[in-house]
Amino acid sequence: MGLHIALVGNPNSGKTTLFNDLTGSNQYVGNWPGVTVEKKTGKAKHDHLPIDITDLPGIYSFSTYTLEEVIAREFVESGDVDVIINIVDASNIERNLFLTLQLLEMGKPMVIAMNMMDVLKTRGTLLDCEALSKQLNVPIVPIVASKSQGIKELLQAAVDQMGIVPPLPMIYNEPLEHVIQMVEKKLKVSVMSRMHAVRFVEEGGIAVLGHTIDPVFLAQLNEEVEKKIAFKSIDRDMVISDEKYAFITNLVSGVTTQIKEKEKYSLSDKIDAIVTHRIFAIPIFLMVMFGLFSLSFGPVGSFFKSNFEWLIQEGIIVPISNILEFLQVSDWMYSLVVDGVLGGVGSVLSFLPEITILFLTLSILEDTGYMARAAFIMDRLLRKFGLSGRSFIPMIMGFGCTVPALMATRTLESERDRRLTMMITPFMSCGARFPIYAVFAAAFFADSQATVVFSIYLLGIVIAVVSGIILKRFVTKGKISSFIMELPEYRWPTPKNLFLHTWDRVKGFIIKAGTVILVAMVIIWFLQSFDFSFRMVDDSVNSIFGIIGSQLAILFKPLGFGDWRSAMSLIVGLVAKEAVVGTLGVLYGVGEAAVDNPELLSAPLRTMYTPLTAYAFMAFTLLYMPCIAAFAAMKREMNSWKWTLIAVTYQTGVAWMVAFVIYQGGLLLGLR
Amino acid sequence: MTLKDVNPGQVCVIEGIGKKSSLRKRIIDMGLTIGTKIEVRKLAPLGDPIEILIRGYHLSLRKAEAAEVFVRLI
């Protein structure tokens, strides 16, 4: 028997920080059933009493119908919650209290955690928590979430409050209150009747109340409300919110005192004067993105990556293969473990350092509040391509690795924006595709390698933009995207938050490498090691894969690379794109070494490709369906097989057409 | 006039929210109720969205959304 607490609050109120304070590393991140909204649960203890804590999505209100709001409302209503902790940002108290009033009307035991009193104080405002608590009939515990202060007291207050539903404060003026009471009486809904009655007054709430009540009766009641509410000169759906805010404005002015004059521009405003400046904003944005990128995939990232690779090789792969040799296991067993499992999973895991740095940097940008500014700056440009300001984050991440980039689309509010962003993010050339360009550029464009590789990256961006413009006409399902977004105060990120935030995502990546990718690797290994009569083959051309590859090769003939080796390497590339180079290396008999030493492949490649076909091949590898790991991520994030298949079919179709145009167009122009 | 036409630096008072706005409820619940003061702080570098100061916090919204907020300058 423990206590179940739900954490509810506005976005940017310090809710995640408080959740981390309460649970430490004792937390679990999953999804709400059936949807892609993150669900965080954790455990805490107070005086030996075990406490389960659920972190509900950050919301501003319960009255609209975004996914997050519905989830939060249903969870609070479900009866699994013993006490609600409502975190309130004292420095933004009016809007935060709006949600508080809605929560009070849900009739659950509740405690308010008053956060960021310190910020308020630096603005010269004092808040009398005791007076506020008396007016709202709810205990208020001042906390400083970023410094883990007041946590014990908060838990104590929550435990004390168990089973107590305090009387509601008088929120509405007499006439409106009467209307609500009338509805309450007539509906005779005992549990949380107040909230339902209020919503009924607001919107006629047949949808809210379900179909258990006679619709004729509801329609009559609705008409009655309509008549009685006519004394308010404003529209019916505004009446409730209007009086709530009026109550709050009045309440707040009674419990705050201004001890020194408020400065017109806070430090945050001063930072914004530069960061979102008309002229400086875009250069600063580009610099930040460049910094993020070069940290993750530049010298720092590749330093860690090469050391980590060495560690995997020497610390895991070599010892295990030695043991296997010592045990004298059969050839196929050795090959399965070393080539299939270790080689495959190892190559994916080798991206771990870069991905960790990328996630860490992104967490910093998010926690400081810069992300919201970046979205603010980029929104107009991205909207032209059917995206939103927030789409740029996944797209930038796509240059690193498509898998986390797809996961990052969760920050997008509208389903439609998410879907579009996920469809075009794979066109951003991920890090794993780079080795392919490196090999081909070295072999065919020795004098202009950098330019050629750059042009491939650029091609990806251009295709993404064109796709956005085309696809936005077709992907119209879902709500119209909006950009009503808070620009929170700049804040120092706390190490604990950064660590937990980064760890969450890194953990997800490791789990994926250990499950989906592992299985895929074993299957691929099997397909390229055995023939159709399930005998192990020496030369992979005779394997199931080789045979399929030579059949498929005909599809690539119009693109200029219709030999079975190219076809096969492209299929293997679905496991991990960098495997294209490894496969070509094996097939041309120079071995895996080609990955580290591109020149080795130059001579054999020159016998099979021309500069023109090489370029078409590079374009194809850039654009065609992303790897299995990205495919799995896309399926999970889209939550739909249909859209996932549409996306990869589109991507592969585009790849084929672009390579076709490059090759055939090049031939027409007399290129070779 | 609407919030869309208010220049950065100007302060106005909300007189109503457009009925057609699909985001009407959300706009109201964010604190944009009738009679509330809004200061337009700035335009994004590309001219859209805009940043406003309301009830002591900063909010960005697109011009298309601002066009549904009816205001009076003060």
Which pLDDT score, from 0 to 100, does residue A250 have? 95
Number of Cβ within a 10 Å radius of residue A447: 6
Chain A residues with CB under 8 Å of B45 CB are 276-279, 281-282, 377
Confidence of residue A591 (pLDDT cuts 50, 70, 90): low
Min mean pLDDT across A78-82, A348-352, A580-584 is at A348-352
pLDDT at A589: 67
Inter-chain touch A483–B62, beta carbons under 8 Å:
yes
Report the pLDDT value the prediction gives residue A638, as an integer from 0 to 100: 86
Q: Could you tell me which residues are beta bridge partners of residue A85?
A: A7, A111
pLDDT the model gives residue A261 = 79
pTM across the whole model: 0.84
Query: Of all residues in chain A, what percent carry a pLDDT higher than 90?
Result: 32
Query: What pLDDT sits at residue A283?
Result: 93
Range with the poorest average pLDDT among A505-519, A556-570, A584-598, A625-639:
A584-598
Tokens of A509: 């990546």
CB–CB of A237/B24 below 8 Å? yes
B34 vs A contacts (CB less than 8 Å): 234, 238, 242
Q: Domain ranges for chain A, please list them.
A: 3-160, 174-258, 263-672
Is pLDDT above 60 for A190? Answer: no
Q: Are A252 and A97 in contact (CB under 8 A)?
A: yes
Q: What angle do CA A550, A554, A555 make, to 5 degrees?
A: 115
* Mean of pLDDT values over A326-342: 81
pLDDT (mean) for A437-463: 89
Q: Where residue A187 falls among pLDDT bands split at 50, 70, 90?
A: confident
Any idea what DSSP says for residue A143?
-
A483 neighbors B23 (Cβ within 8 angstroms): no
Q: What is the pLDDT of residue A252?
A: 95
The pLDDT of residue A200 is 84
Please, which contacts does A503-508 make with residues 24 or more away whose CB atoms are closer than 8 Å?
A: A503/A25, A504/A29, A505/A359, A505/A404, A505/A407, A506/A352, A506/A355, A506/A356, A506/A359, A508/A29, A508/A407
- Which residues, including other chains, have CB under 8 Å from residue A574's CB and lie 6 or more apart? A625, A627, A628, A631
The residue among A92, A93, A81, A89 whose CA lies nearest residue A55 is A81
Is the pLDDT score of A207 beyond 60? no
Q: Can you give the pLDDT at residue A479?
A: 55
Least confident of A556-560, A580-584, A616-620: A580-584
- Is the confidence at residue A660, as pLDDT, over 90? yes
C-alpha distances (whole Å) from A252 to each of A94, A106, A171, A243, A314 are: 7, 22, 13, 14, 64
Q: Residue B58: list chain A partners with CB under 8 A.
A: 272, 486-488
Structure tokens at A421: 């962003």
Partner-chain contact B34 A242, CB within 8 Å = yes
- Closest partner residue to A380 (CB to CB) among B16, B44, B65 is B44
Q: Which of A91, A241, A389 sits opposite B33 (nearest CB)?
A: A241
Residues of B in Cβ contact (< 8 Å) with A95: 30-31, 55, 57
A536-571 per-position pLDDT tens digit: 877 777 888 888 888 888 999 999 998 888 888 888
Which residues of chain B neighbour A119 with C-beta distances below 8 Å? none
Q: Give yes or no for a contact between B52 and B41, defined as CB atoms under 8 angstroms apart.
A: yes
Task: Indicate whether A1 pLDDT > 70.
Answer: no
- CA distance to A1, A28, A80, A101, per residue, from A54 (Å): 16, 10, 10, 20
- ipTM of the complex, rounded to two decimals: 0.96
* pLDDT attached to residue A347: 67
Mean per-residue pLDDT over chain A, rounded: 85
Of B19, B25, B56, the CB nearest to A63: B25
Residues of A in contact with B55 (CB under 8 A): 92, 94-95
Distances (CA, A) of A647 to A423, A470, A624: 5, 13, 10
Region of poorest pLDDT, from A200-209, A253-262, A419-428: A200-209
Give me A115's structure tokens: 């956060």
Which burial class, exposed, middle or buried, applies to A656 when counting CB atoms under 10 A from its CB (0-12, 13-18, 19+)?
A: middle
Cβ atoms of residues A248 and A132 within 8 Å: no
- Mean pLDDT in residue range B2-11: 94
Q: Which residue of B has its CA nearest to A274?
A: B45
The Cα angle at residue A297 between residues A631 and A435, in degrees rounded to 5: 65
Å from B71 to nearest chain A CA?
Answer: 15
- Written as one letter, the residue type at A592 is E
Q: What's the pLDDT tens digit per position in A476-520?
A: 555 556 788 899 999 898 898 899 888 877 887 777 667 766 777
CB atoms near residue A484 (< 10 Å): 18
- The whole-number pLDDT of residue A544 equals 85
Which position has the higher pLDDT, A575 or A91? A91
Q: What is the CATH number of domain A174-258?
A: 1.10.287
Closest partner residue to B29 (CB to CB) among A60, A93, A272 is: A60
Q: What is the pLDDT of residue A316?
A: 84
The answer to whether A237 faces chain B, any CB pair under 8 Å, is yes
The answer, yes or no, to whether residue A133 has pLDDT greater than 70, is: yes
Q: Which residues have CB under 8 Å from A671's CB, separation 6+?
A: A611, A612
Q: Which residue has the higher pLDDT, A543 or A207?
A: A543
What phi, psi does B61 have (nearest 5°)? -150, 155
| pLDDT above 70 as % of chain A | 93
pLDDT at A637: 84
* Domains of chain B, earliest start first: 3-73 (2.30.30.90)
Q: B37, B48, B59, B60: which to substitute to probe chain A, counting the most A Cβ within 10 Å? A: B60
Contact A444, A606 (CB under 8 A): yes
- Assign A423 a pLDDT band (cuts: 50, 70, 90): very high
CB contact under 8 A, A64 and B26: yes
Q: What residues of chain B lie within 8 A of the CB of A92, using their CB?
A: 55-57
Q: What is the pLDDT of residues A524-535, one digit of tens each?
A: 778 878 888 888
Task: Give the pLDDT confidence score for residue B23 in this predicted structure.
Answer: 79
Distance CA A23, CA A585 (A): 50
Give the minimum alpha-carbon distance from B46 to chain A in angstroms, rounded to a whole number: 6
Q: Examine the pLDDT at A209 and tell me if it is beyond 60.
A: no
- Quote the tokens at residue A605: 């490649």
Residue A597 has a pLDDT of 66
Q: Which residues from A are below 8 Å from B62, CB to CB?
A: 379, 482-483
| SS3 label, residue A107 | coil
Q: Which one of A332-341, B12-21, B45-54 scores highest in mean pLDDT?
A: B45-54
Contact A379 B65 (CB under 8 A): no
Q: What is the rounded distance in angstroms from the CA atom of residue A512 to the CA atom of residue A150?
A: 38
Highest mean pLDDT among A20-29, A41-50, A565-574, A657-666: A657-666
| Chain A contact present for B42, CB below 8 A | yes
Q: Scanning every residue of chain B, which has its alpha carbon at the shortest distance from the alpha carbon of A284?
A: B45
3-state DSSP of A174-219: HHHHHHHHHHHHHHCCCCCHHHHHHHHHHHCCHHHHCCCCCHHHHH
**Contact between chains at A484 and B27 (C-beta distance less than 8 A):** yes
In this structure, are residues A588 and A601 in contact, taking their beta carbons and an 8 Å threshold?
yes
CA-CA distance, A251 to A256, in Å (whole number)? 9
Which of A13, A60, A95, A258 to substitute to test the interface with B, most B CBs within 10 Å? Answer: A95
If one compares A461 and A537, the residue with the highest pLDDT of the two is A461
Q: Label each residue of A498-535 as H, E or C.
A: HHHHHHHHHHHHHHHHHCHHHHHHHHHHHHHHECCCCC
**Which pLDDT value is given to residue A596?**
63
For A3-160, give the CATH class.
Answer: alpha beta
Between A473 and A18, name the one with better pLDDT.
Answer: A18
C-beta of residue A360 within 8 angstroms of C-beta of residue A304: no
Nearest to A94 among B16, B43, B56 (CB): B56
Contact list in A for residue B17 (CB cut-off 8 A) is: 238
Angle at A631 between CA A630 and CA A637, to 5 degrees: 85
Find the range with the poorest average confidence among A494-508, A548-562, A645-659, B1-15.
A494-508
Q: For chains A and B, what is the number of CB pairs under 8 angstroms? A: 111
Task: Give kind and range of the element (H or E) at residue A114.
Answer: strand A110-115
The band of A159, judged by pLDDT with boundaries at 50, 70 and 90, is very high
> Does B37 reach chain A within 8 Å, measured CB to CB?
no
What pLDDT score was predicted for residue A331? 80
What confidence score (pLDDT) does residue A666 get?
Answer: 93
Return the minimum-mean-pLDDT range out of A154-168, A245-259, A307-321.
A307-321
State whether B65 and A238 contact (CB < 8 Å).
no
Q: Which two tokens stand for residue A475?
A: 């992907």
